[in-house]
């Protein structure tokens, strides 16, 4: 019954708060990540959502992190990604004041940005670069809003400056939600228009069992100086991942990386010539 699952969700939120308050101050990074992953997977199970992960985290040299970019459909997206690997998300500062959820976000490493202040964007860019250089994955939803999942909106390019400045990779993810029995897309998790969080939660809990599909794409190397080109390449890869076209996504990523490497080589050659 729906009300029993809502009670289970409340108890699960309280358990998460207790873990953050009592255990997190004494735990190392890996232990905290283990708890976040386990808590998120339990959250999905309570909501009646199966998780299907396609692909693996691409290997890259050294302890450096990456900027994780994904399409955005639901408030559930964060827990789906956390169930794969804990990520430090960038979120609007208003979320910090949300009861319970805002506190949990802060304790699990969310980076908050005041979107109304242009100067704050510069601060967040520096913070993102710093934590990625320390080895963290930082997650953003470059569409800037949620959709019903039928299309991927153009990506905003502002935060793409962080991986370019740090010489760090961009990792595209493709998210989709389908009916677990039929495999057809479902709109139940879509947090769109004027729908309230409670109404969206009710839709999820009343829907037939849902499967959340998370496709991990090949890394894009931020070797180009253009954040707009990087944003466009990332969006194209995400579109193919959402459609299940993983081979095409890999081809697009390879082309973007080759073009970026060529451009970087040309710029280096010009710089070398200027010094002679």
Residues of the chain with pLDDT under 70: 59-63, 116, 224-225, 260-276
Structural domain of residue 38, as residue ranges?
A: 2-270
Q: 67: Cβ–Cβ under 8 A, 6 or more apart, which residues?
A: 128, 132, 137, 138, 139, 140, 159, 160, 162, 163, 168, 169, 170, 171
Residue 14 within a domain:
yes
The structural domain count of the chain equals 1
Print burial letters for 58-74: b (CB count within 10 Å at least 16), e (below 16): eeeeeebbbbbbbbbbb
Q: Which tens digit of pLDDT belongs to each residue from 133-159?
A: 999 999 999 999 999 999 999 999 999
Is 81 within the bounds of a domain? yes
pLDDT, tens digit, 9 for 90 and up, residues 239-276: 999 999 999 999 999 998 887 666 555 444 444 444 55
Q: Is residue 134 part of a domain?
A: yes
Calculate ∠ Cα 221-142-54, nearest 5°: 65
pTM (2 d.p.) = 0.91
Q: 183 in a domain, yes or no?
A: yes
CATH number at residue 264: 3.40.1010.10
- Domain-embedded: residue 275: no
The DSSP letter of residue 42 is H
- The answer to the question of residue 253 being in a domain is yes
The pLDDT assigned to 59 comes to 63
Residue 260's pLDDT is 61
Q: Per the domain annotation, does 276 fall within a domain?
A: no
pLDDT of residue 271: 47
Phi, psi of 65 (to 5 degrees): -95, -155
Beta-strand (E) ranges in 86-209? Answer: 88-92, 111-113, 137-140, 169-179
pLDDT of residue 119: 76
Contact 242, 217 (CB under 8 A): no
């Amino acid at each position: 019954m729906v009300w029993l699952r809502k009670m289970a969700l409340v108890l699960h939120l309280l358990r998460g708060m207790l873990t953050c308050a009592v255990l997190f101050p004494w735990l190392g990074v890996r232990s905290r990540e283990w708890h976040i992953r386990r808590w998120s997977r339990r959250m999905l199970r309570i909501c009646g959502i199966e998780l299907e992960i396609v692909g693996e985290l691409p290997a890259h040299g050294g302890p450096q992190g990456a900027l994780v970019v994904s399409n955005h459909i639901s408030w559930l997206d964060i827990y789906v990604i956390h169930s794969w690997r804990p990520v430090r998300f960038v979120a609007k500062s208003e979320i910090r004041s949300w009861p319970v959820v805002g506190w949990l976000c802060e304790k699990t490493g969310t980076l908050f940005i005041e979107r109304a202040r242009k100067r704050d964007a510069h601060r967040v860019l520096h913070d993102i670069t710093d934590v990625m250089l320390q080895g963290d994955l930082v997650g953003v939803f470059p569409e800037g809003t949620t959709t019903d999942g039928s299309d991927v909106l153009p990506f905003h390019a502002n935060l793409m400056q962080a991986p370019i400045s740090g010489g760090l990779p961009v990792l595209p993810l493709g998210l989709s939600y389908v009916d677990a029995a039929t495999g057809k897309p479902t709109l139940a998790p879509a947090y769109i228009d004027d729908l309230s969080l409670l109404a969206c939660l009710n839709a999820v809990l009343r829907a037939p069992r849902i499967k959340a599909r998370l496709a991990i794409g090949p890394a894009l190397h931020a070797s180009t100086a253009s954040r707009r080109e990087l944003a466009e390449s990332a969006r194209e890869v995400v579109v193919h991942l959402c459609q299940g076209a993983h081979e095409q996504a890999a081809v697009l990523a390879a082309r973007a990386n080759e073009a970026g490497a060529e451009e970087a080589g040309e710029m280096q050659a010009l710089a070398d010539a200027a010094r002679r």
